[in-house]
Amino acid sequence: MTIDMGQFFQVFFDEAEELLAEKEKLLLGVDIASPDPEDLNAIFRTAHSIKGGASTFGLHDMSEVTHILESLLDQIRKGEMTLTSDHVDAFLAAKDVLKMQLDGHRHGAKVDLDAVGDVRMLLQSFVKGEIKAENKVAAAVIQQEEASEKREQYQSAFRIVFNQIKEADWLVLSDELAMLGRVEEPTVDGDKRSLLISTNGSQDDIVAVCSFVVDADKMSITSEAVKQTSASDAASDEDLGYGFFEPMDTMFTPAPADVSEHGSSSAKSDAAAAQAKASPKKDNDKAANSQESSTIRVGIEKVDQIINLIGELVITQAMLNQRTQDLDPVSNERLLSSVAHLTRNTRDLQEAVMSIRMMPMEYVFSRFPRMVRDLAHKLGKKVEFITHGASTELDKGLIERIVDPLTHLVRNSIDHGIEMPAARSASGKSETGRLTLSSVHQGGNIVIEVSDDGGGLHRERILSKARQNGLPVSDAMSDSEVWQLIFAPGFSTAEVVTDVSGRGVGMDVVKRNIAQMGGVVDIRSTRGLGTTITISLPLTLAILDGMSVKVGQEIYILPLGFVVESLQPQLEDIREINGRGSVIKIRQEYLPLIRLYESFNIEPTHKDPSAGITVIVEVDGKKAALFVDELVAQQQVVVKNIESNYKKIQGISGATILGDGGVSLILDVAALIRAVR
């Protein structure tokens, strides 16, 4: 039987990418002055797991880099070498190289061999660096004590004999088994190889590890008495470093028994589960392993297909509801009850399926710590990066599209918001600026904030530049109106344009991209105290809550998030402005009146606003009044992309199918307000 190894490679690629991201996160969060041993162990495990997986699949370029990286990390976690910021920089550079190599194997991307060689030489120079004798002796004493305690804990010993095992499989298995306990007495006799393992695990745990590499009929396991070893023997074993792994130019050291290993194969998960049985943290480890085993990887195209089908089901259910409205409730009681059950179940199913596409904002937030660190270092600034609400969920499609706007805003905050350390000290601030990225759910929206405690926006400078650009401005404008000027296309000043970013350069693109996602942007800024940019987005673009409005014989959907109120105006509240259209007076405020029948060239039932209904809508702090014939209903609609099936229509953002099977257009409120203003 031929086995498709492609699926296993894909699993390795996915898990390696996750491990690299985890490694970067740990490195950026480690306390260099006083590193937590658990953090060092976790960083070591990421390198160890990637190395094991790369070796298994024959990706020797990756295994060579991770081998050197692992050796250096091992020295640091054992206390033989003090962690420095230079080490962290080197580890981050190694992470970038490994990501480049991974992309090369996965997508055929170009790999810069010079960069790979430079990182290997850098890591080697650290590995070969001199270590103070007293530190080495102290570390050796600690290792002897730990090794002695570890050997006294082992309760069982097993002799494992492998028949017809390949050299590469033998090396991988030896490494995996070392995670279960102490491996010793390796012997090689032709195709037959054997070893003795002392462990707190069971025979089933050993079988679980081995079965990933060799067939059960090609191995035998027998129980033996546990060998009691002295502390000196333990130290000797540590010094030898299990030299029988030398053929791969690799030196493997068993992980401590209370360390859970997350590897690149199911065997590593089983090994971690076996270790957890002997670990003081066994409850937490078991929970982690249970969570890992309860997840599956599914292609996004399959999820999208399910969501499309659910959308069709929602439409069908709405049709059934409409068809049964005219039935006699007495003679059709059972049918109507069944339809009501179907409605509830469809809504629950729809919410459950939509949640599959929801992803935590951590997916976005995790990209920024490294960028903030590198950019602050380049500009000579000190920046503390803080995130809140990383577990807040957003639709996958929106998450992918929000990355670029947030990247631009974060870069602007560092480059032009946060001042240089000397300037901050002179103004009585801490030398370290604070940049905060947060997200929170508010109703059916997610609110994302990028906030800094820098110098804030300069009102006079923005107004001056706006006048130079010919924009209609006045000194009487409110601060919020002035801040919106930086979103004008091409708006920039000499002070804000740098080789990194420019507050205003590209900001029009940021706002346009967010508007295309149905979101709005708001700015709050205080001179000398900082700036906060708030982005409000719908949780998903696939389904929205809308209000059905009727104009003539047409039904339009008005997104409920833009609706402020609805009312029937008095005739004396309507004013005509020569050449500028009409306005309506609402509580001492004059709002532009948008007659939808004029916008879409249709025959209405009412042409007098006082005879119809006016819906007050608001986008980006700007209000307008939509004149319609009547309000029909409030309902949830499935959004269909109209551009992919027809073309872009001014004032229309999409379409949906109503319960009667007819097509209804979804209004683009922002575009309608822009047109009338």
For residue range 504-541, what is the model confidence (pLDDT) as tens digits?
A: 446 777 888 888 787 888 899 998 899 999 998 887 76
Label residue 491 by pLDDT band (50, 70, 90). low
Spans of all domains in the chain: 1-131, 146-292, 300-357, 374-538, 543-676
Token pair of 81, please?
């070498």
Second-level CATH architecture of 300-357:
Orthogonal Bundle (1.10)
- Out of 1.20.1070.10, 3.40.50.300, 3.40.50.720, 3.30.565.10, the CATH code matching 374-538 is 3.30.565.10
3-state SS class at 247: helix
- Whether the per-residue pLDDT at 145 is higher than 50: the answer is no
Among 166-170, 220-224, 506-510, 600-604, the least confident range: 166-170
The pLDDT value given to residue 283: 45
What are the angstrom distances between the C-alpha of 559 and each of 94, 155, 571, 636?
48, 66, 27, 10
The predicted pLDDT at position 648 comes to 76
pLDDT-based confidence at residue 374 (cuts at 50, 70, 90) = confident
With 70 as the cut, is the pLDDT of residue 228 above it? no
Q: Which of 558, 623, 629 is CA-nearest to residue 592? A: 623
Q: What is the mean pLDDT of residues 544-558?
A: 89
| Predicted TM-score of the model (pTM) | 0.56
CB 19 within 8 A of CB 49: yes
- Taking 60 as the threshold, does the pLDDT of residue 3 lie above it? no
The architecture that CATH gives domain 543-676 is Beta Barrel (2.40)
**Span 247-257, mean pLDDT?**
34
Report residue 287 as tokens.
């929970």
Residue that has been written with the tokens 């929602």 in this structure = 314
Residue 356 near residue 405 (C-beta atoms within 8 A):
no
- pLDDT, one tens digit per residue, over 32-74 is 888 888 888 888 888 888 888 887 777 888 888 888 888 888 8
Residue 498: per-residue pLDDT? 52
Give the three-state DSSP class for 327. Answer: coil
Phi, psi (rounded to 5 degrees) for 331: -75, -20
CATH class of 1-131: mainly alpha
The label of the residue with tokens 């030196």 reads: 251
Is pLDDT of 259 > 50? no
Count of alpha carbons within 13 angstroms of residue 396, beta-carbon side: 12
C-alpha 221/C-alpha 116 separation (Å) is 42
236 in Cβ contact with 246 (< 8 Å): no
The answer, yes or no, to whether residue 607 has pLDDT greater than 60, is yes
SS (H, E, C) 170-202: HHHHHHHHHCCEEEEEEEEECCEEEEEEEECCC
- Residue 212 pLDDT more than 70? no
The pLDDT, as a whole number, for residue 55 is 79
Q: What confidence score (pLDDT) does residue 674 get?
A: 80
Q: What angle do CA 379, 380, 386 make, to 5 degrees?
A: 85
Backbone φ and ψ of 287, nearest 5°: -65, -40
Mean pLDDT, residues 84-99: 89
